[in-house]
Each structure stands twice: as structure tokens, then as C-alpha cells.
Amino acid sequence: MRDPKAEARRWLAAAREELVWARHAAAGGFHAPACFHAQQGAEKAVKAVHYLHGARVVIGHNVRALIESLEPRVSFLDALVDAGRELDLFYIPTRYPNGLDSGTPGEAFSASQSDRAIEHIMAIVEAATQVVEPPVKPSPGENAAGGPASADPGQAPADEMTPSEEKTAEEKIAEEKQKPGVVE
């Protein structure tokens, strides 16, 4: 059996690759594939957490069900069940015409749908990252980089962020939207 942490990191890396593909597809106006890659990335991110928790095989493509079946529960992901529900709608009809009443996937999906799907995958990947690659907490007398703590206890070292400088998930998402190739 693979090392659970290594396997989780491998799946999380694959989830991040899907996010890149979703952004590229959306930037090119290919909204159905963007939505599909967002669903795939969210699925892989949640599977990363399952592997971290020791799962040997994780079967299924339903993001909501994957989140709900996590043991132990992960509050970061529980909060994103509705995002998973939305992404689950993109698994079949973004690829197959018979998943739609009429037309083709390329005709059926819009920029606003791919934008929302990308927001969802970003949030789910971020939540999974917090579980799989949690921030390292410094031990007493060290800063986050492992160096000596600041001599002045009221002042954070230059390489540490104070709580007011830390970014919220919403700020990170807004920053991601500003990157080249991200469609508003």
C-alpha cells in the first residue's frame, strides 16, 4: 500500500492540474470542458483527503457523496457540499449530447457557469489543501520558517504574516481571478 500522505499529495496535485485545464478552457470560450475539468478537480481533491485518511481505493464521481462519506468528517469540506452538488451536474452533460435534451455540450454551457464552477473547484482544492498540506505551526521560539522568533514579542518577524495580513478564502479567490487566462 502506498504512503497515505504521498498518495493524498499526488491526488491533490492532479486536482490542481484540473483547475489549470478548467481555467484554460474557460479562457478559450470552451465552457463545457471548463465545467467538466472543474468537476474532475473537485472530485480528485476530495479523493486526496480520503487517501490521506487511509482509504485504499476510492470509487465514485459524485463530489457531494465523496464529501459526505469522509470519516472523520472535515468541516472545511462539509461547508462546500452545495458546491459539490453544483459540480456534480457537470459530470455527464458537459461531455455527451445524450446528457442534454437538445443541442451539444458546447451550446449548453455558458461563461457564467464555467466561472462559478472554477470558483467551486478553487474553494474545494483550498479546503483539501488545508487538510492534506496543513500550514506548519512554529514551535515555541521559532517563526513559521523555522528561524528564531522576533526579539520583540509584539512584532511579527518580516517573514511572518500578522492575522490582519492573512488572506481569507474570498481574497484568494479574487486574486486567482486576476491571473492571466481567468475569465470574469
- pLDDT over 70, % of the chain: 76
pLDDT grade, residue 2 (50/70/90)? confident
d(C-alpha 111, C-alpha 121), whole Å: 15
Can you tell me the mean pLDDT for 169-183?
A: 55
At residue 158 the predicted structure's pLDDT band, cuts being 50, 70 and 90, is: very low
User: Which residue ranges make up each domain of the chain?
Assistant: 4-134
pLDDT at 144: 58
Record the pTM. 0.75
Contact present, 11 and 125 (Cβ < 8 Å):
no
Is the pLDDT at 148 greater than 80? The verdict is no
Ramachandran sector of residue 153 (left: φ over 0; alpha: ψ -120 to 50; beta: rest): alpha
Q: What is the model's pLDDT at position 137?
A: 79
Fold entry, domain 4-134: Four Helix Bundle (Hemerythrin (Met), subunit A) (1.20.120)
Mean pLDDT of 131-159: 65
Residue 129: pLDDT band by 50, 70, 90 thresholds? very high
DSSP-derived secondary structure for 61-125: --HHHHHHT-SS--HHHHTTHHHHHHHHTTTTTTT-GGGSSSS-HHHH--HHHHHHHHHHHHHHH
Please enumerate in sequence order all residues whose Cβ is within 8 A of that of 183, keeping only pairs 6 or more positions apart, or say none: 26, 27, 111, 114, 115
Instruction: Report the mean per-residue pLDDT for the chain.
Output: 86
- The tens digit of pLDDT for each residue in 6-60 reads 999 999 999 999 999 999 999 999 999 999 999 999 999 999 999 999 999 999 9
Facing residues of 148 across strands?
A: 142
Residue with cell 474553494: 123
pLDDT value at position 53? Answer: 97
